[in-house]
Chains A and B, each alone.
Chain A
Amino acid sequence: MIELTINDQVYKVPPGRTILEACREFGIPIRTLCYHPALEPYGGCRLCMVEIAQPGRKPRLATACTYPCEAGLLVWTDSQRVKTSRRLTAELLLATATGAPEIEALARQLGVTTVRYCLPESDACVLCGLCVRACQEIVGVSAIGMIRRGIAKEVSPPFQVASATCIGCGTCVMICPTGVLTLEQITDYHSPHRQLRDGQEVYLDCELCAPQRRIGP
């Protein structure tokens, strides 16, 4: 067992746990967005930031989802530095996803009152990578990936054409935290929305991924 201190209290955890896993076990709340227990940690959204200090070293920020529990490690999950980091990250997230109620609610909870900079174009995709990783790690087909880089980055099937490897399982749509991803973006061929009725192709409303929107012709 490894002994470490979280918020001035000593805990014992089995080796191999991340700080986030340990905190969840002991009921210490940490907000996450790109984390999913069924997937490899990604460290992309930076919301699960905690302050850590190794004995004799200066405290620094680290993501709880990726940092392993170490013997003697000091962890603070709610220090001023952590709160500031989370608030600013949430403000930046909101800057890219002004239309997403989930992100708005999250930002409000983390203390964001104004967004000082907004992207001229924003959709609700926060590039948490859950869809891409679920497709790769759970479904095992990698029908989608990330294309471009920086602010222009987006989720897309290879070469931005309907993916031939997609099996239409909808895992990516299910796991999307902001509900922005629809199956039509990934594949047309396997879409459960497209059905044959009396020899005619018809598109149906989808309760799952686009309840407000009629898809197709």
Chain B
Amino acid sequence: MNRTTHATHDSQAVETGWLRLADIAAFQHWSAELTQAWDESRPCVKVCDGTGCRALGSQKVLSGLRAACQKADLPIPLEIVGTGCPGFCECGPLLTIYPQKISYQKIKPNDVKEIVERTLVGGEIIERLLYTDPLTGEHIHREPDLPFYNKQLRQVLDFNGRIDPTRIEEYVALGGYRALVKALSELEPKQVIDEVKAAGLRGRGGAGFSTGLKWEIARQNIRRTGTGYIICNADEGDPGAFMDRSVMEGNPHSVIEGMLIGAYALGIQDGYVYIRAEYPLAVQNLQTAISQAEEIGLLGEDILGTGFTFHLRVRLGAGAFVCGEETALMASIEGRIGEPRPRPPYPAESGLWGQPTVINNVETWANVPLVIQRGSAAYAAVGTEKSKGTKIFSVVGKINNTGLVEVPMGITLREIIEDIGGGIPNGKRFKAAQLGGPSGGCVPVEHLDVPIDYESLSQLGAIMGSGGMVVADEDTCMVDFARYFMNFTQEESCGKCVPCRVGTKAMLATLERICAGYGEPGDLDYLLEMGQHVRDSSLCGLGQTAPNPVLSTLRYFRDEYEAHILEHRCPAHVCKGLITYSVIAELCTGCMVCLRNCPSDAITGAKQQVHAIDPLRCNRCGMCQSVCKFDAISVN
């Protein structure tokens, strides 16, 4: 196989010059050639080019690096690769130098010259760019030694950070599309479904329904109607969640391969990826991947000469959170308003354009090649009794190592937060972690050692969800935390059914009142009653899960709610209606700094005299506290 042009890393251009793979033997020959030629120890520099690192300037680092390498007198020519997100977003832009796997972090464009001169030419390590273990103060030289990756089990994210997502050869060299070929050549469609079922793969989008069972039900319907669709739900919208984005940006072919295997198992010829337009890089990489796969004959008509045909189309969502709900998503693809409809009929029976439809999340599809390639038994060896495989979490909030982590099911929350996440910044104490975004619930400190799987989380009032994990520390007010998520679901409610449209608004108004200091004793009963009602009576998953943040914070942090209502006090000093700033007379030196910085002129006093804050003029911005060098401002 030869190609006439090489894809540059920032080019969107579809490569030309591919020879179409005529049959399975041709694929195997090509794949073996690429694998043999792949050498992980060849000298190269890999820079994370995911959205997170791009926001921190990785594109400038990449272009600077290319220019500097051309000029520099390098001992051997170096390849410079922009990869997908390896997950350590806290320390981005990330740069790894192969073959030594020297890991530099937080690279600025003006560090590039030094990296080229000292490390690439001189072979010397620049200590200030290394990761420093906050516990030991030790510099860590090599990427595999970073504690962030130590406890992870990277199956789905394995290629993120290793391959250039815009080059299909790199995916194939590492074994890509072999699962598809295995399915096409060795397995009957029914056997594929049995494998997925036996592997215990469950939907990674939230509900955790058995993927194999879903396929089995749909297959029966598809045999009856003769047509159907498969959909990849890439409408990720939970605040702080970016697992699916990173998979599509960093390894789009794994999603395509998963869908191909699904289409083969189900006997389907058409599929859609529904992806939000706010993910431009993911859309771009996915489209590049689709056109490469089409050109080489891994997608489209008569794939690898087997007669199996599958067309994959991309549909962009306009950003409504509710379009992540499967029936609303399908309405959106059909060109109607993104509103859910009642089930039954379930999509497996009557979905897109009334045909049987299988809809799975990005991460679920990306797991399918792993199941087929490794075999169900090997896949199911990881995880707990009922939850198999790994799960990607995006760990954000009050945590040292913000980023994506892929862990085996059954790991404890403590391991994720303390060992991988590096604990809470500034020595603060952990309070709770919100799992499953606005549809989930919080897990408090006393349940940190519960093994994470679908069942144990739902027992705690949280959900696995799509994998968002927002960490709260002792400075987080749980009432305000619940109010934030309620505000999100209230704004994202489509408005079709009454409990979700009005109920979420009523609950939000109550929470806002409590945060403002006007809570009443009956409010908690009202929140519980209305929360239960919205959960029980709403039409779709959005409404049915919307009260969860409120109900779970009420379950574990009722005392905080009561402090707001009965004692007019916000224990975490967050809710502005319930706090007052005052000057501690013994500590105040009369330096006038707070007085000059106060935006509402609420501070009075003269030089070397104790200042005073007028609570009526004070707008509770906290500026005085942050500028005071003597810790003389207290919050009550």
Contact = CB atoms under 8 A, between A and B. Distances in A.
Interface string B487-498: 000111111111
Interface string B445-479: 00000000000000000000000000000000000
Interface stretch (A147-155, A175-183, A189-197): A147-155
B530 A88 contact: yes
B501 A119 contact: no
B499 A89 contact: yes
Chain B interface extent, by class: 20 to 34
Interface in B618-636: none
B498 A44 contact: yes
B242 to A, nearest CB: 24
A84 interface: yes
Interface in B486-534: 490-499, 501-506, 509-510, 522, 526, 529-530, 533
A128 to B, nearest CB: 9
Interface stretch (B336-344, B591-599, B607-615): B336-344
B497 A44 contact: yes
Interface stretch (A61-69, A163-171, A204-212): A61-69
Interface in A112-129: 116-117, 119, 126-127, 129
Nearest to A120: B509
B539 interface: yes
Contact of A43 (B320, B341, B506): B341
B537 interface: yes
B385 interface: no
A88 B529 contact: yes
B502 A92 contact: yes
B498 A46 contact: yes
B320 A149 contact: yes
Contact of B505 (A43, A85, A119): A119
Contacts of A46: 497-499, 537-539
A39 interface: no
A151 B505 contact: yes
B501 A153 contact: yes
A146 B342 contact: no
A90 to B, nearest CB: 9
B536 interface: yes
A172 interface: no
A93 B490 CA distance: 16
Nearest to A86: B537
Contact of A49 (B337, B501, B529, B537): B537
Given A89-B537, A92-B506, A150 B501 contact: yes
Interface centre among A43, A49, A92, A126 (most CB of B within 10 A): A92
B327 to A, nearest CB: 11
B545 to A, nearest CB: 15
A190 B494 CA distance: 31
A151 B497 contact: no
A110 interface: no
A84 B495 CA distance: 21
A41 B503 CA distance: 22
A45 B498 contact: yes
A129 B538 CA distance: 16
A116 B539 CA distance: 23
Interface residues of A, number: 37
Contacts of B337: 145-146
Contacts of A92: 498-499, 502-503, 506
Contacts of A41: 342
A187 interface: no
A152 B494 CA distance: 9
Nearest to A87: B533
Contacts of B494: 149-150, 153
A149 B495 contact: yes
A43 B497 contact: yes
A115 to B, nearest CB: 10
Interface string B320-358: 101000000000000001010110100000000000000
Contacts of A127: 495-496, 501
Contacts of B502: 92-93, 95-96, 119, 151
Contacts of A96: 501-502
A85 B537 CA distance: 7
Contacts of B526: 116-117
A10 B536 CA distance: 26
Contact of B498 (A81, A89, A149): A89
A84 to B, nearest CB: 7
Contacts of A119: 502, 505
B505 to A, nearest CB: 5
Contacts of B536: 60-61, 81, 85
Contact of A146 (B495, B503, B505, B533): B495
A96 B494 CA distance: 16
Contacts of B539: 43-44, 46, 63
A84 B533 contact: yes
Contacts of B538: 46
A149 B493 contact: yes
Nearest to B343: A66
B507 to A, nearest CB: 9
Contacts of A63: 342, 539
Nearest to B491: A150
A155 to B, nearest CB: 11
A192 to B, nearest CB: 29
B492 A150 contact: yes
25 contacts: A44-B496, A44-B497, A44-B539, A46-B497, A46-B499, A46-B538, A67-B342, A68-B344, A81-B536, A85-B533, A88-B537, A89-B499, A92-B499, A92-B503, A93-B498, A96-B501, A96-B502, A146-B495, A148-B495, A149-B320, A150-B491, A150-B505, A151-B502, A152-B495, A153-B494
> Top 10 A-B pairs ranked by shortest CB distance?
A153-B495, A92-B502, A117-B506, A43-B342, A66-B342, A150-B493, A88-B533, A150-B495, A151-B505, A85-B537
Interface of A: 41-46, 49, 60-63, 66-68, 81, 84-85, 88-89, 92-93, 95-96, 116-117, 119, 126-127, 129, 145-146, 148-153
Given A88-B499, A116-B526, A151-B505, 20 more contacts: A43-B539, A44-B497, A62-B342, A66-B342, A67-B344, A88-B533, A92-B499, A92-B502, A92-B503, A93-B498, A96-B502, A116-B506, A117-B509, A117-B510, A119-B502, A127-B496, A145-B337, A150-B491, A151-B490, A151-B495
